[in-house]
Structure 1
Amino acid sequence: MQQLLILCVDDEREVLDSVLHDIMSLSPPFVIDGAQSVAEAREAITDFEQQGGKLALILADHIMPDELGIDFLIDLNHTANTEAAKKILLTGQAGLHDTIEAINRGGLNYYLAKPWTQELLLNIVIEKLTDYVLEHCDNPMPYAQVLDGARIFSHVGQHRMDIKS
């Protein structure tokens, strides 16, 4: 089973800690990491890939000191090794133009406004991670316990039927 990374990026430590806390139930099987800047996030992705892992999902704030979250998501969407990652913008400050840019050029999979509830955030992350493993993992079954098990079982069952046909 390939190691998959969930990376959360927010320059405010309290917000970052809250996001990490809200999704911690997904570890294991996912590796969950946090970064307080885009530079730190890039480094975390590179280090994880060098260990043979893949970025599966990124939650990024928009307004950060050195680089905007939307610009970072656009870069990830145009890089071969991170293009497939699910991208969630978690912010309270992105305007309509920035959000449209993230959708059109950044492969944005979801926009979540601050403040959020733990239940909503976790449900969105589970939905997007389920999409990811069904699209990119040969065997999604190891993830069924923490993701949308019904969708995974249905997908596996349907693909078995396709193989037999």
Structure 2
Amino acid sequence: MTHARSARAVPDPRLTILVLEDELEVREALEADLAPFADIARVEPAEDVPDAHAVLDEVAADGDVLALVLADHRLPGRSGTDFLVELMASGRHPHVRTVLVTGQADHADTIRAVNEGGLDYYVAKPWNPDDLRALVRRQLTEYVLWSGADPVPHLRVLETERALEAVRGRSEL
């Protein structure tokens, strides 16, 4: 007698938002503003660059993907700009979207983040929570569209119209 194996569905990788911020109150405020995303996307805090690398290792070990980094510039040790430059140079996350959330980056730091770190957006502190959520939704949508990920499991955290257009476009192929 043979037994049929039940096929176990492999879950889609979760999109991860890395929040790199050393000030506890600011990090907690960002996490609170991103709470509406947390049931679909992972929101992972890190207080400095070594902590961010540990988070990236954990995300990879879980089979999830780094979709978005929200990084402060001024951090203890190495700066958020240094982290973004290093992240882009590694080639491990080619489609990751990056946002500098800071009130202290000077002109040279910002230019370096754009030119060498692939910076996608700059948000000045203090931020508007609704604007931040709209920006995160837009950046996650960009990540999904550019990476070729299936938008369907992530629809609730994406710009719905753009994501559905991508789904319709794929079904027409």
Q: Same fold (TM over 0.5)?
A: yes
TM-score (norm 2): 0.90
Kindly provide the CA deviation profile for residues 12-40 of structure 1, in whole angstroms up to 9, marking residues without a partner as x: 00000000100110112111110111110
Cα distance in 2 between the residues matched to 1:18 and 1:130: 23
- How well do the aligned residues superpose, as a CA RMSD in angstroms? 1.1
Match of residue 98 from structure 1: 109
The 5 A counterparts of 1:83-162 are 83-161=94-172
Cα distance in 1 between the residues matched to 2:155 and 2:64: 19
Which consecutive residues of structure 2, in runs of 5 or more, have no partner in the other structure?
1-11
Alpha-carbon distance, 1:82 to partner: 2.2
Alpha-carbon distance, 1:115 to partner: 0.5
Quote the sequence identity (%).
35
SS at structure 1 position matched to 2:99: strand
Q: Does structure 2 conserve the Cα–Cα contact (< 8 Å) formed by 1:89 and 1:112? A: yes
Cα distance in 2 between the residues matched to 1:20 and 1:138: 24
Cα distance in 1 between the residues matched to 2:169 and 2:98: 27
Match of residue 9 from structure 2: none
Which consecutive residues of structure 1, in runs of 5 or more, have no partner in the other structure?
none
Cα distance in 2 between the residues matched to 1:53 and 1:154: 24
Kindly provide the CA deviation profile for residues 89-118 of structure 1, in whole angstroms up to 9, marking residues without a partner as x: 000011111101110110101000001010
Alpha-carbon distance, 1:160 to partner: 2.4
Runs of 4+ in 1 over 3 A off after TM superposition: none
| Pair 1:19-2:30 in alignment | yes
In terms of Rg, which structure is larger?
A: 2
TM-score (norm 1): 0.94
Cα distance in 2 between the residues matched to 1:86 and 1:104: 14
Kindly provide the CA deviation profile for residues 24-76 of structure 1, in whole angstroms up to 9, marking residues without a partner as x: 10112111110111110110101110221111111000001111110100000
